[in-house]
Amino acid sequence: MTQESTQQPIRVVVPDDDPPVFADSAAIARLSRLPDFDVATFTKRPNNQYELEERISGAHTLIIARSTTRVTNAIIESATPQLKHIAIWGTAADHVAVEAARRLDVTVTNTPNSATVAVAEHALALLMSLSRKIPQLDLRVREGEWPGGQLTQLAGKTLGIVGTGAVGIRLARIAEGIGMRILMSSLSESSYNPTASESSNWTEVSFSELLSNSDAISVHARLNQQTRAMFGAVEFAQMKPTGLFVNTARGQLVDTSALAEALANETIAGAALDVFNREPLGGNSPLSRLPNVILTPHIAANTSEALNVSLNMVVDNVVDFMQKRINHQVS
């Protein structure tokens, strides 16, 4: 440990463990058992930025559990010079003011690719549930009905994948395995290169071409200034009326009002969402009242296998930083 750690306990704060994942985990227990560490975990999200500032006061390290927690310039400035490390649970860092952290000599780390398989599988599960109308049929059978009707077969259909990082590539592989054709729009941000045989079977197209030629679209883009609200009324109007839309990336990539209108007007056939502009999703959201949408609570990464990897990776990042080894630094 550093000289600083021998003088006083290193305060580590998880300000937003809601719903709780860290609190009872073996990973955070491992960190708490180490000498020189004082770990505080809050199992309710802060109500505002002032409450967040209060929780992290005096912290050396923040473990940020939720992408809805905005670690802004002001938040980082309020916590320095004590704050030295922001450890993100997850890959994306769009909710952390990375430039401000760099300017104030605060290191930001993440847990890249720890949930790639889990998120890709969840995206496929949502797509299958949409195409087969599983939630609606389950409800009707429970209510005593025995409905008929036609469902959608995915084999032979075209899946458009927006964003070709690790999750997008993984989904392409498993979707191809069930007989789907693959269109991809990398948005010039690809961080992963498919093999030669894979790339020969997948077609890279423009975003506009992907919208109009896909039977289903799954979103895996990073959130930045260019991609924020990239799916709006114009984009949904370009999709097929039978089109299905899946988002397991970031809620802010989608104009929620435009999506709700497209679903209500049957501009597209259905949507399945694991992420939202505001989380938790309120009961008054127009999405919650639509019959052709499936909603899950930002839980795609929460398999036991992925959690074991990602939670321990966060703790390893914290311990390694204190031993002057920086792993998985966000650039």
Which residue of the set 66, 85, 170, 250 is catalytic? 250
The letter for the amino acid at 126 is L
- Average pLDDT taken over every residue of the chain: 94
Between vectors from CA 51 to CA 48 and to CA 55, what angle results, nearest 5°?
A: 140
**Which structural domain range is residue 38 located in?**
3-114+304-322
Secondary element (H or E) of residue 181: strand 181-185
Domain presence at residue 37 = yes
Which residue of the set 198, 279, 289, 328 is catalytic? 279
With 0.85 as the threshold, say if the pTM is over it.
yes
Same structural domain for residues 96 and 155? no
Same structural domain for residues 37 and 181? no
Q: Cβ atoms within 10 A of the Cβ of 285, count?
A: 16
Question: pLDDT tens across 179-190, in order?
Answer: 999 999 997 554
Same structural domain for residues 120 and 249? yes
161 vs 166: CA distance, rounded Å: 12
Same structural domain for residues 231 and 308? no
pLDDT over 90 at 18, yes or no:
yes
Same structural domain for residues 142 and 129? yes
Known active-site residue 305 = no
Same structural domain for residues 248 and 99? no
How is residue 88 written in tokens?
A: 């993100």
Known active-site residue 95 = no
Same structural domain for residues 310 and 175? no
Same structural domain for residues 254 and 273? yes
Known active-site residue 198 = no
Same structural domain for residues 15 and 154? no
Which residue of the set 45, 60, 222, 298 is catalytic? 298
**pLDDT band at residue 3 under the 50/70/90 scheme:** very low
**pLDDT band at residue 315 under the 50/70/90 scheme:** very high
Domain presence at residue 327 = no
* Length of the chain, in residues: 331
The letter for the amino acid at 77 is E
Same structural domain for residues 179 and 162? yes
Q: How far is CA 243 from the centre of its chain?
A: 22
Same structural domain for residues 240 and 148? yes
CATH code, domain carrying 109: 3.40.50.720
Secondary element (H or E) of residue 135: helix 134-142
Domain presence at residue 179 = yes
pLDDT for position 5: 43
236 vs 257: CA distance, rounded Å: 12
**Ramachandran angles phi, psi of 160, nearest 5°:** -95, 125
Same structural domain for residues 15 and 79? yes
The letter for the amino acid at 216 is A
**Overall domain count for the chain:** 2
Domain presence at residue 328 = no
Domain presence at residue 331 = no
pLDDT over 90 at 175, yes or no:
yes
